[in-house]
Structure 1
């Protein structure tokens, strides 16, 4: 699913109105009606008090449409105009007149001198104050209103985006943004729904189709995409009947040090679980027995040193090399890695201490093969890129880094984001159960194993991140977040593959009719 920018959303709205021969007010009616239908389908006439707070721009106009339909359908609704400026949008004014012609209970105007309405914890607040066009911090009495929303503990439904939240910048003041329990986003999710600094402002979100021109949606390239099952299913490569282990590649996993051989074991298991034909682990001597006993499917090569990697020499020809898991940053290991990079031509996936070594010695970055995949967690990314001002600055730095060194960066997190050149791929799978040691090692093996099977490195990163998260999603309901460990990801990979072809159950959904008499 494409994630459109604010500018693209405006462009799509204007093009839709032109091509469909409708006005912007008609499009607002369509959007507001979709919000109403969503509420009506769930509430079925329940008389819970609903407080609709409308700004004086287009987001407020959407709110007025919702309030009007709630009123005509007999809901217990109060409408408020947050009168923060003298400037009003044309479509807001059109809908303000419509609601005044619909009910004698006109919207209540609120300003800095107004007494705030009584709202109870079991009430519903519809937030339609500010939309995606907001370009300044929220201050003064509006900020106090947002704090009042929080104090009531009422359920908050935001229209399109939580008020006070920008689409392209992190808020300076947390109290200046509405905390939504649910956000109904028009046509496309917003990138801010997936970033650590801004995702917290909405517990859940959902996209509503408001009929934006299909050709525009299909043909317009976007900076970001949300990656779910529909996006990864076309990436899958089916197997031929007469294939064999040689058909699916050979991965060399270089890593480990004394006390950290488990990371190599987990990565190697990830390689084979994802479908690669063969895996060889290259470790210090101390890794030989643990790997041969703990994971007999792997072949093992060792360094001459007992506890750390001091040289990298092998006589096999792997299709891809994974480096860094558990390897440490000893001076001899760094020297061995540098010597290896100077002669290596094989595709690379670099994780953990491999990234830390690159951060310590940035000249080595120029030695990376094109389309090398880097898989840092936040602290490793900070060492690599330097500190960032906010999440948007972090992504800007990551894109610049990717272009400079022609590499792919997998930024691990609640919504792992794969960065390549100017493009962002936001993963939709995964859960807090993955916040445990070793899951990143498994991901390194998964991505390496997919590259070995002739997946393009970028595709391998996107597909691998999805399967890694989906494996956790499918098992965590039985295991719980706290008890989930890295080995469970490996157990879940077969389920994640099978789920690609599982047809979802179709719930029966009754569409609400706009006629209140039916």
Structure 2
């Protein structure tokens, strides 16, 4: 294993005071679930996750956020994040996105995106695998692979052959184990001493950035491995992972460029953008705990709403 990265976090680049919303990038979030059984009975509805990711992307300064979600939940998702745009995708009788319909919508939306999030609240099923694969096979912009998209990709044989995107994976230990088992990686994501090696091995195998969540989130690009020190157990609540995914994507959209979209005004690499996001995510949780004098009870939307203060406070 390589030595731990002790380099300081780079500062966020200054924002263009004359910039408009197009200047600061577009994040496309693919997620949500309108699941139901074949007979039409109610099943799992997951509406909040893509809205939380979109809110975090906007709160960290990106110009536009678009939520590609199953059509039955699109209106509800927009209600939760009215500053974002909803892009509905047709579903089959079970509530799953129709893969061919999703592919056409994603291709159109990705053409104007600077970063993608895939996975928040997606549930399972064959269409989820197809959607997740399409996201990691594109090469135009960074993609943050979170939650159910990680679980779906863990079912793909020889997954490393499909990984073409500049990707950031954000697994918790359970998601890590499912993916590591598929890739024959032997490391314990819950053991403090083994967590850096676990993140590094997965990053090397897929050629991506890994942010292995948990106490002391580990970020690795396979060569450099850094351990976060901010945060705490106040983050142990539903939705905070969705906020992190949106935050990584939002900073990437503003400050990371790839291929034909590279520009001298976007100076961060994806590894550093991920480190900054992880650290800011923890700082926002610390700020909430300090203000509420509490070690629990934070809501994920409250976490997202504190991001401007820890990232862009004028007096920091």
- In the aligned structure 2, how far is the partner of 1:324 from the partner of 1:309? 13
| Length, aligned pairs only | 278
**Unpaired segments of 5 or more residues in structure 1?**
1-167, 169-221, 503-518
- Choose the corresponding residue for 1:413, options 193, 204, 214: 214
Q: What's the CA shift for 1:395?
A: 3.0
- In the aligned structure 1, how far is the partner of 2:46 from the partner of 2:55? 15
After TM superposition, where is structure 1 displaced by more than 4 Å over at least 4 residues in a row?
339-344, 498-501
- In the aligned structure 1, how far is the partner of 2:64 from the partner of 2:167? 20
For the residue of structure 2 that corresponds to 1:224, the secondary structure is coil
Q: Which residue of 1 aligns with 2:246?
A: 445
Distance 1:338 1:310, change over 3 A: farther
What is the CA RMSD across the aligned residues, in angstroms? 2.2
Deviation per CA, 1:148-201: give whole Å up to 9, x if none. xxxxxxxxxxxxxxxxxxxx9xxxxxxxxxxxxxxxxxxxxxxxxxxxxxxxxx
Q: Which residue of 2 aligns with 1:355?
A: 150
For the residue of structure 2 that corresponds to 1:238, the secondary structure is coil
Q: Which residue of 2 aligns with 1:254?
A: 30
Distance 1:497 1:333, change over 3 A: closer
Return the TM-score normalized by structure 1: 0.51
- Choose the corresponding residue for 1:388, options 178, 181, 187: 187
- In the aligned structure 1, how far is the partner of 2:196 from the partner of 2:157? 19
- Choose the corresponding residue for 2:97, options 300, 309, 313: 309
Residues 60 and 247, structure 2, Cα contact 8 Å, conserved in 1: yes
1:331 is aligned to 2:126:
yes
Q: Which residue of 1 aligns with 2:15?
A: 239
1:483 is aligned to 2:297:
yes
Distance 1:297 1:499, change over 3 A: closer
* Larger RCO (CA within 8 A; separation ≥ 6): 2
Q: What's the CA shift for 1:370?
A: 4.6
Residues 289 and 296, structure 2, Cα contact 8 Å, conserved in 1: no
1:293 is aligned to 2:79:
yes
Return the TM-score normalized by structure 2: 0.81
Q: Which residue of 2 aligns with 1:404?
A: 205
- In the aligned structure 2, how far is the partner of 1:500 from the partner of 1:401? 38
For the residue of structure 2 that corresponds to 1:360, the secondary structure is coil
Residues 410 and 418, structure 1, Cα contact 8 Å, conserved in 2: yes
Distance 1:366 1:240, change over 3 A: same
Deviation per CA, 1:346-379: give whole Å up to 9, x if none. 3211000111111111433332235310000111
Distance 1:337 1:424, change over 3 A: closer
Distance 1:498 1:292, change over 3 A: closer
Q: Which residue of 2 aligns with 1:224?
A: 4
